[in-house]
Homo-oligomer: A and B are copies of this chain.
Amino acid sequence: MTKKILGIDLGGTSVKFAILTENGEIQQKWSIRTNILDEGSHIVPDIIESIKHRMELYEMTSEDFLGIGMGSPGAVNRENGTVFGAYNLNWKQTIEIKQAIEAETGLPFFIDNDANVAALGEKWQGAGADDDNVVFVTLGTGVGGGVITDGNLVHGVAESGGELGHITVDPKDGFDCTCGKKGCLETVASATGVLNLTRKLSEEYAGDSQLKTMVDDGAEITSKQVFDLAKQGDDLAEMVVDEFSFYLGLACSHLGNILNPKFIVIGGGVSNAGEFLLEKVRKNFAQFTFPNVRETTKIKIAELGNDAGVIGASYLVKTGL
């Protein structure tokens, strides 16, 4: 009998688990609430309990598994299996995860940053089509990413490889970013970025637009509404999406010219705008890339949705052993 892999995607709201085959097929899937009370001290014990409970339920033992992989927010020390500064988990100091989980399960444990792990998932089983040169850009509240060259994640010298949300796309007149600098991709090409652009452009806007009326009425606006209005031809909303796509296309062109990956995969909630968005991004990408890159690097929408994390986490085990 071939062995299984346990993939875990640790997030601020829930912890997602899956049991996968070595080929990346999900066989069981469940999740638990992330209990961030008491400085997040329940999280690791809850995870261990949930693993044990499910193993019992499925009549499985450690013998049935190759190992456990996890994607985590915060700064991950892959070697020690610790996490530092995961503030959305209420973890205020360095947390030992590998040690605790290996001691309780007897299985080898692998961990990496959540955006990197999602990138591995899309590379292996999603839009990356298991190619060895894939970049993943995730557009959510912020912008994250992972860079894979020759089949390996690029961690860089201090684990800050793939800080794609902080590529400077507007060096002269950019919005302030939470990282302390200005003009980061994240300030324009995220859910927050859509609102930044909407506010900025609506101030100068004088035409006929439902979005403009909503802004002036002080209505709460979501990035989904802006994309939906743009699809319906709302003038201001189209201007916002055009500027969003300009910056995202420019950042993707940097990825293309530097790495010439087979695929740049766009995921995260904002990517639900789908082909409507991609078409505009591709136009800008083409304008800003070296001819041979333009012809050979493709931009695609992510395919795995919320499963990217658990699948990528299990890939850590498959390739790390």
B171, A250: Cβ atoms closer than 8 Å: yes
Within 8 A of B (CB), among A238-260: 246, 250, 253-255, 257-260
B residues less than 8 Å from A254 (CB atoms): 167-168, 254, 258
Q: Is A149 an interface residue (CB 8 A)?
A: yes
In the complex with contacts A150-B152, A152-B150, A154-B150, A160-B293 CB distance below 8 A: yes
Q: Does A223 contact B (CB under 8 A)?
A: no
List the one stretch of A40-48, A269-277, A283-291 in contact with chain B. Answer: A283-291
The residues in A between 163 and 182 inclusive whose CB is less than 8 angstroms from any CB of B are 163-164, 166-168, 171, 179-181
Each complex incorporates copies of this chain amounting to 2
Knowing A262-B157, A288-B171, A288-B181, the reply to whether A293 touches B163 (Cβ < 8 A) is yes
A161 and B260: CB pair below 8 A? yes
For residue A162, CB closer than 8 A to chain B, the reply is yes
Closest-CB distance, A214 to chain B (whole angstroms): 29
Q: Would you list which residues of chain A between 113 and 155 have a CB under 8 Å from chain B? A: 131, 133, 147, 149-150, 152, 154-155
The CA of A150 and the CA of B295, in the complex, are separated in Å by 27
Name A247's closest neighbour in chain B (CB-CB): B171
Cα separation A180 to B288 with both chains bound (whole Å)? 10
Q: Contacts A150-B152, A156-B133, A295-B158 given: A288-B168 contact, CB under 8 Å?
A: yes
Best-buried of A181, A250, A296 by chain B (most CB within 10 Å)? A181
A258 contacts which of B147, B155, B171, B293 (Cβ < 8 Å)?
B147
User: Given A166-B290, A168-B288, A293-B163, does the pair A158, B258 have CB atoms closer than 8 Å?
Assistant: no
CA distance A159 to B297 in the complex (A): 11
25 of the cross-chain contacts (CB-CB < 8 Å) are: A133-B157, A149-B149, A149-B152, A149-B161, A155-B260, A156-B293, A156-B296, A158-B297, A159-B292, A160-B292, A161-B258, A161-B259, A162-B258, A163-B257, A163-B258, A163-B260, A163-B293, A164-B258, A166-B290, A167-B254, A167-B257, A168-B289, A171-B250, A171-B287, A181-B290
